Amino acid sequence: MARGPMSQIFSFDATDQAIIRELRANGRANNQQIAEVLGLTATTVSTRIRRMEDANQLRVVAVSDFTAHGFNVLLRISVEVDGRPASEVAQELGALPEVVAAHMVTGRYDIDMLVALHDFDDLSEFLLDKLSTVRGIRTLTPHIVVDIIKYQFDVAPIEGRPGESRGNGGNA
């Protein structure tokens, strides 16, 4: 993720953490509602959110459920690349609408992807027709997700390491 110049010197304090907790609990809460819960003014909440967003430390997004949108098949696909930079292959794979996430990884494989399909009937078309057009793929190892134990990407640890001060009076 690209970071702005402020992100290197940004530190969260207890108020920032409380605002983030409220947003995580209810992403639709407006500044006034958050302010009332935390005993702040709406202006303070607005200013704090804007400051965190400007420093690339906070992004408020909507998260939708796969099955609510008819995606009943999740795959993790490991990709080994040959004859082309893995970063180029990852960019091309990431542009496919079925690809929810694409990561450059270490180890045996070069790229790891999460793919959402409507049903198993879409599997052969995706693997054989779409992925076969991407130059540089040496091997594909698909893994069918049989059960989701935890899928929580809305949480980035902001508390810091134990014993590490985050500045501005924040707690570790």
All domains in the chain, ordered by first residue: 5-54 (1.10.10.10), 67-144 (3.30.70.920)
Residue 12 has pLDDT above 70, yes or no: yes
Residue 15 has pLDDT above 50, yes or no: yes
| Contact status, residue 112 vs residue 76, Cβ threshold 8 Å | yes
Look at residue 37 in the predicted model and tell me its pLDDT: 95
pLDDT tens digits, one per residue of 109-147: 999 999 999 999 999 999 999 999 999 999 999 999 888
pLDDT tens digits, one per residue of 60-70: 776 667 777 77
Place of tokens 């793929």: 137
In the chain, alpha helices (H)? 14-25, 31-38, 42-54, 86-94, 123-124
User: Whole-number mean pLDDT of the chain?
Assistant: 83
Q: What percent of the chain has pLDDT over 90?
A: 57
pLDDT tens digits, one per residue of 77-105: 999 999 999 999 999 999 999 999 999 99
pTM of the predicted model over 0.75 = no
Strands (E), the chain: 73-81, 99-104, 111-117, 137-144
pLDDT tier, 171 (very low <50, low <70, confident <90, very high otherwise): very low
pLDDT tier, 149 (very low <50, low <70, confident <90, very high otherwise): confident
